[in-house]
Amino acid sequence: MSQTNHIGKGPNRVDGPLKVSGTAHYSGEFNVPNLAYGYVVSSPIAKGKIVAIHADEVRALPGVLEVFSHDNVPHLAWFDKSYKDQIAPGGSPFRPLHEPDITFNQQPVALVVADTFELARYAAALLRIDYEQEAHETNLETKRAEGFVPGKGKTGFQPPPPPRGNPDKAWVNATHQMEAEYAHGAQHHNPMELFTTTVEWRGDGQITAYDKTQGVFNVKNYLMGVFGLGKDDVRVVNQFMGGGFGSGLRPQYSVFMGVLAALELKRSVRVTLTRQQMFSIGHRPNTLQVVKMGTNPDGTLAALQHHALHETSQFEDYTENIVNWSGMLYQCDNVKLGYELAKLDIYSPQDMRAPGAASGNVGLEVAMDEMAYAAGLDPLEFRLRNYADRDQNVDKPFSSKKLRECYQQGAAKFGWEKRTQEPRSMRANGKLVGMGMGGGVWDATQNKSAAKALISADGHLTVRSGTGENGTGTYTIMTQIAAETLGLPLEAVTFELGDTDQPEAPIQGGSWTAASVGTAVKNACDALGEKILKLAQKQDDSPLKGAKFDEVEFVNGQLRLRLDHDQAVVLRDVLQASGETQLEADSSATPNMAKQQGYSMHSHNVAFAEVEVDEDLGTIKVTRVVSAVAAGRILNQKTARSQVLGSVIWGLGMALMEETIMDHKFGRYVNHNFAEYHIPVNADIPHIDAIFVHEDDDIVNPLGVKGIGEVGMLGVTAAIANAVFHATGKRVRDLPIMLDKLL
Amino acid sequence: MSQPLTSTPYTGGVPAPVPTGPVRLHINGETRTLQLAPWTSLLDALREYAHLTGTKKGCDHGQCGACTVLVNGLRINSCLTLAVMHEDDDITTIEGLGTPENLSPLQQAFVDHDAFQCGYCTPGQICSAQGLLNEGRAHSEAEIKELMSGNLCRCGAYVGILDAVKEVVDKESSDVGA
Ligand code: FES
Ligand code: FES
C-alpha cells in the first residue's frame, strides 16, 4: 500500500492554515519601512481634455510628497510595443498619465503621494482639475450598424471558422425554426481584494513590486518596457492573490502608478485602488447576440447561425471567442458564425471567467431550449439527438469527450425524468417550479512552463515555479504532484510560487495552470529522481545497480524496483550517504504537438437547475443545481469541487444579478460598488451537487488534466434562464433576469 | 460640442489636515498606543499602523464584510468606524483567534470544509461566525445562511462556509447540552 499516492485524493489545502489565520500576505500587506501612500484621482468625464490640474495647492500640504499627472510624468517609453503585455489585444494600450486627453470615465488622471494613506486620500479629494468635456458615446445599441470584424486580436483569439454547408437555405427550409436575440450588460470581476501594489525601493534604481497580478512575469516585462528597467532592477512577487477571475491577467494601472512614484521619489510606495476604481480596469463586455436555428423532422439540427457584437474601447480591439463554440458543441452541417466589435468611449474590456464562452453559451444554450420547444422535444433529448462526436469546426476527433456521461449522470442525480415539458406545469410551496438545463465546452490548453526541484539531505523537497495562487489551489495540487512523483508525504514537500526570481510560468488563466505548471513540476521532479537514482547506484551493493529510470519507482520514501519491491533503498539514506547537502534539477514542459495535432482537446459540462418563482412578486429562487463536469483527471477532489461550486455561483450571479449599469448621459457606471453591483451572498445559494465524470486522456498532457476553472461556469446561466421559462412561460432574453422582467 | 467642467471654486489655500494623536487600543490582548489622525478608520489603524494585516479591506464602505473584527466581543465592520472611537476597547482580529500552528475550532473547520479559495474574505467570515457563536445565535442552516450574508465571497465558497460554521455551532450546542 502506498501512502504517497496523492493525485486524485482530496487533502486539505496546504496553504489553508495561513489563509484562515490572517498570515497569508497579499500585495497590500508588505509593510516595508518608510512606506509612502499613493491615491489615484479618476476622471469624472468620459471624453474630453484636462485643461488644468491645480496641483500646487495640495503639494503645499505638509506630508504631501508629490502629485503625478501628465503635466510632470517623466519621459517614458515612446512606442506602443513597450506598453503591450503578453495578452494585449490589437491597438494602442492605455498609457496612464500620458496625455491630457480623456478617453473613458474614471480614467486615472493623477496620483497623489503622501506620508500616510489618510493624507493622500485627503489631498486627492482636494485636488482641483478643470476639464473640457466633449460628446461621448457609451451605448452599444447605437452602434449596431457600425460593427466591424476585428483583425488578428490577442493571443488565443480565433476568428470564427468560415461558414459550412448552406446555412441560409437550410434555415429557410427547416421543419421548425427559431430566431432570437440575447443580450447582457457589462459585468465586472470584482475580486474581493482591491488592486494593490506595494513597491519596495531597494536603492540604486532597483525595486521589488508586490503586485496583485495573475502573471508576475507579464508585469515584470511590462515594467521593464515602460520604465526602461534592466532585468535585475525589478522583481515582481505575488504569493497570494485575493481573487482574479481574469482581472489580473494584464498589468493594471495600480502597478504603473506605484512604480512611477517609487522610482521618482526613491522611496517605497503603496497604491491601492478603491472599490469604485475597480470598475475602471476592464470587464466582460456588453454583448448582443442573434441566434437562428432550424431542425429536420427527426429533431436533428438543420441549420445553426450565431452572431455576436460586443463593445470595445476606442484604443484597443479587445476580442474573445464567443460564437466559435456553437460550431462544435452540436452536430450540424449548415453553420454560420459571425463576430463583430463596436468602439465606444469606455475602457477596454478584459477577459473575465470563461471569457467569450460564458457569453456565447447563454445565446447558444437558451436558443437550444427555444428550439427544443419549437420542435416539441425534451431539451435533454434534443441535445442527445445532436451530439457531436467530432469537432466540425476543425474536422478532428476529440482527444476525449464524456459529455454523454455528463448528461446521463447529471440528469439522474437531478431527477430530470420528473420534469413535465409544459411551461407552468409544475408547482411547489405555492410557487411555480421550473427545471432547465444547459451545457458547455472549454479549451484544454497547455502552455510552456518551467520548474525547479531541490531536495535537501534530510529529504525535504522544495519545488519552485513562478505561477500564481488566486484561490484555485495551485499550492496544493503542485505539492501533490511533486510529492507523488518522488514518493514523499505532503509534509515533506514545499511548493513556492509567484516570484520572477523563480523559473518562468505562464500567466495564470484559461484553466491551463494545472496542465502547464503541473507537467513542468512533474518533469522537474522526474529529472531530480534520475539524479537520485544515479547517486543510489553509486553506492556499494546497491540493489538498484543497472536499473533504468523507468524500471524504478518512488513510493513511501523509498526508491525501489517496479517489479521487485524488496529491492529498495530509503531515499533519505541515499541522500545522506552521498554527502551532498542538496540536489537540484530544472525542467520545463511544452505541449506534445506531434501527439496532439490530430485532435480537438476540450472539457465539457452540463448543468441542471431548478427554480421557484413567486408569481405575485416576481422573485426567483434557485433551489437546486447539479453540475456534471468532464475535464480529464481531477487532481484534488476537494479543491476541484470548490472550483465547480464557485463556478455555479458565478453562473447564478450572471443569470439573476450581475450587471454594471451605464448612465449614458454621463458615460459612467453608476452602480460601481458592492451595495449596487449585486453578487450572490450565502442566503442565495441553492443546494449544489458537483459531479466529476471520469475521463482518461493521455493526449492533452502526461497528467491527463484539462483544467476546471472556467468550464464549470458554462451551462449554469442558461440552465437557470431556461428553468425560469419552464416555470413561468416567459422567455427573458436579456440578462440578468430580475423580477421586473417577470411581472 | 465642447463644454468646460470646472471643479469647485477655489477659495484660497486648502485646509490643513487635523494633527494626529495617540489612541490606545487593546488588540488581541496586547495594549497598543498608535499615533493616528482622527479620521483613520479602525481598519486602516489595524492594517497600516498596527501591522495586523489579517483583517482585509474589500470595499472600505461597509458593503462586503471583509474587515469584520470583534470589538468587545461583538461583530463590527472595522472600515465603518474610526479608531479614535475605540479608545481602550478590546479588539479581536483574526490573528487573535488562532495561529497556523494552533488554529481555533472555526479556523480548523474552515480548512477541513475548504470554506475558501483565495482566502481574502476568510478572516472576515471567521470573525463574523465567531461573533455569532459568542452571541449564541445562528442555530439552523437557514439562520446561518442569513446571518452570514453580510460577508461577501467572490470565489463563491459559501457552501463550505455554511458547512464549517454549522459544524462548530452544532458541536458547541451539543457540548453545552452535555
Ligand atoms: S471593507 Fe469593510 S465592509 Fe468592506
Ligand atoms: S475565498 Fe475568495 S473571496 Fe471568499
Q: pLDDT digits over A320-339, tens only?
A: 999 999 999 999 999 999 99
Q: Which ligand lies nearest the alpha carbon of B57?
A: 1
CA of B119 to the centre of ligand 2 (A): 5
The pLDDT > 70 percentage for chain B reads 91
CA distance A312 to A464: 38
Q: Is A710 an active-site residue?
A: yes
CA distance A422 to A435: 11
B46 touches chain A (CB under 8 A): no
Which residue of B1, B117, B123 is in closest CB contact with A471? B117
Q: Which of A316, A484, A610, A710 is catalytic?
A: A710
CA of B80 to the centre of ligand 1 (A): 7
Q: Is pLDDT at B30 greater than 70 in this prediction?
A: yes
Q: Is pLDDT at B1 greater than 50 in this prediction?
A: no
A76-85 mean pLDDT: 91
Contacts of A194 in chain B (CB under 8 A): 57-58
Q: Which atom of ligand 1 is nearest to the CA of B80?
A: 2
The pLDDT assigned to B11 comes to 55
Q: Which ligand lies nearest the alpha carbon of B123?
A: 2
CA distance A257 to A113: 10
Q: Is pLDDT at B7 greater than 60 in this prediction?
A: no
A258-279 mean pLDDT: 98
Neighbour-count burial of B84, counting CB atoms closer than 10 A to its CB (0-12 exposed, 13-18 middle, 19+ buried): middle
Contact assessment for residue A434 and residue A725, using Cβ atoms and an 8 Å cutoff: yes
Mean pLDDT, chain A, as a whole number?
A: 96
| Residue entry with cell 493525485 | A7
Which residue of B6, B97, B99 is in closest CB contact with A130? B6
Q: Do A118 and B40 touch (CB under 8 A)?
A: yes
A474-483 mean pLDDT: 97
Q: Is the CA virtual torsion A696, A700, A701, A703 positive or negative?
A: negative
The pLDDT assigned to A152 comes to 76
pLDDT-based confidence at B176, cuts 50/70/90? low
The residue in chain B having the minimum alpha-carbon distance to the alpha carbon of residue A709 is B155
CA of A713 to the centre of ligand 1 (A): 27
Q: Which ligand lies nearest the alpha carbon of A190?
A: 2
Q: Do B8 and A646 touch (CB under 8 A)?
A: no
The pLDDT > 70 percentage for chain A reads 100
CA distance A515 to A632: 10
CA of B154 to the centre of ligand 2 (A): 5
> Taking chain A, what is the end-to-end CA distance rounded to the nearest angstrom?
62
Q: Is pLDDT at A705 greater than 60 in this prediction?
A: yes
CA of A653 to nearest chain B CA: how many angstroms apart? Answer: 10
CA distance A527 to A538: 17
Residue B63, ligand 1, Cβ within 6 A: yes
| Mutation test residue for ligand 1: of B47, B56, B59, B148, the one with most atoms within 8 Å of CB | B59
The pLDDT > 90 percentage for chain A reads 96
Neighbour-count burial of A371, counting CB atoms closer than 10 A to its CB (0-12 exposed, 13-18 middle, 19+ buried): buried
The pLDDT assigned to B177 comes to 54
Residue A190: Cβ within 10 Å count? 27
What string of DSSP letters covers A288-322?
A: EEEEEEEE-TTS-EEEEEEEEEEEE-SSEE-----
Q: pLDDT digits over A551-593, tens only?
A: 999 999 999 999 999 999 999 999 999 888 999 999 999 999 9
CA distance A680 to A525: 41
A395-419 mean pLDDT: 98
Q: pLDDT digits over A590-607, tens only?
A: 999 999 999 999 999 999
Residue B126, ligand 1, Cβ within 6 A: no
A334-345 mean pLDDT: 98
Residue B85, ligand 1, Cβ within 6 A: no
CA distance A720 to A612: 11
Q: Is pLDDT at B13 greater than 80 in this prediction?
A: no
The residue in chain B having the minimum alpha-carbon distance to the alpha carbon of residue A124 is B14
The β-bridge partners of B45 are none
Closest CA relative to residue A189, chosen from A262, A267, A101, A285: A285
Closest CA relative to residue A320, chosen from A281, A271, A276, A287: A287
Please report, for residues A268, A352, B83, the alpha-carbon distance to residue B130 in angstroms, rounded to integers and kept in the order given.
36, 33, 22
How many beta-carbon contacts under 8 Å exist across A and B? 238
Q: Do B145 and A685 touch (CB under 8 A)?
A: yes
pTM (2 decimals)?
Answer: 0.97
Q: Is pLDDT at B178 greater than 50 in this prediction?
A: no
The residue in chain B having the minimum alpha-carbon distance to the alpha carbon of residue A636 is B114
The pLDDT assigned to A75 comes to 85
The pLDDT assigned to A155 comes to 77
Q: pLDDT digits over A446-472, tens only?
A: 999 999 999 999 999 999 999 999 999
Contact assessment for residue A428 and residue A721, using Cβ atoms and an 8 Å cutoff: no
CA distance A545 to A554: 16
Which residue of B39, B54, B120 is in closest CB contact with A193? B120
Please report, for residues A653, B81, B147, the alpha-carbon distance to residue B28 in angstroms, rounded to integers and kept in the order given.
37, 18, 24
Contact assessment for residue A284 and residue A187, using Cβ atoms and an 8 Å cutoff: yes
Residue B159, ligand 2, Cβ within 6 A: no
| Mutation test residue for ligand 1: of B47, B48, B64, the one with most atoms within 8 Å of CB | B64
Q: Which domains does chain B have, with CATH numbers?
A: 22-96 (3.10.20.30), 105-171 (1.10.150.120)
Q: Is pLDDT at A55 greater than 70 in this prediction?
A: yes
Closest CA relative to residue A8, chosen from A680, A631, A664: A631
Q: Is pLDDT at B94 greater than 90 in this prediction?
A: yes
Q: Is pLDDT at A380 greater than 90 in this prediction?
A: yes
A207-232 mean pLDDT: 98
Q: Which domains does chain A have, with CATH numbers?
A: 32-134+192-243+248-279 (3.90.1170.50), 143-187+283-445+598-742 (3.30.365.10), 447-590 (3.30.365.10)
Q: Which ligand lies nearest the alpha carbon of A243?
A: 2
Q: Which long-range contacts (CB under 8 A, 24 or more apart) does B65-68 make?
A: B65/B121, B65/B124, B65/B125, B65/B128, B65/B150, B65/B151, B65/B152, B66/A192, B66/B120, B66/B121, B66/B123, B66/B124, B66/B151, B66/B152, B67/B43, B67/B124, B68/B123, B68/B124, B68/B125, B68/B127, B68/B128, B68/B131, B68/B151
The residue in chain B having the minimum alpha-carbon distance to the alpha carbon of residue A652 is B156
Residues 6+ apart with CB under 8 A from A221: A85, A86
B161-168 mean pLDDT: 98
Which residue of A19, A117, A647 is in closest CB contact with B119? A19
A618-629 mean pLDDT: 98
CA distance A540 to A206: 51
Which residue of A23, A638, A650 is in closest CB contact with B114? A638
The pLDDT assigned to B8 comes to 55
Please report, for residues A426, A572, A612, A613, A615, the alpha-carbon distance to residue A430 in angstroms, rounded to integers and kept in the order given.
10, 67, 9, 9, 9
Q: Whose CA is nearest to atom 3 of ligand 2?
A: B153
Residue to mutate among B6, B159, B168, with most A CBs inside 10 A, is: B159
Phi, psi of A430 (to 5 degrees): 70, 10
Residue B172: Cβ within 10 Å count? 14
Residues 6+ apart with CB under 8 A from A496: A462, A463, A464, A502
Q: Whose CA is nearest to atom 3 of ligand 1?
A: B62
The pLDDT assigned to A283 comes to 98
Closest CA relative to residue A5, chosen from A636, A716, A577, A642: A636
CA of A96 to the centre of ligand 2 (A): 30
Q: What is the dihedral of CA A654, A660, A663, A667, to 10 degrees?
A: -130
Window from A314-328, A557-571, B13-27, B80-94 with minimum mean pLDDT: B13-27
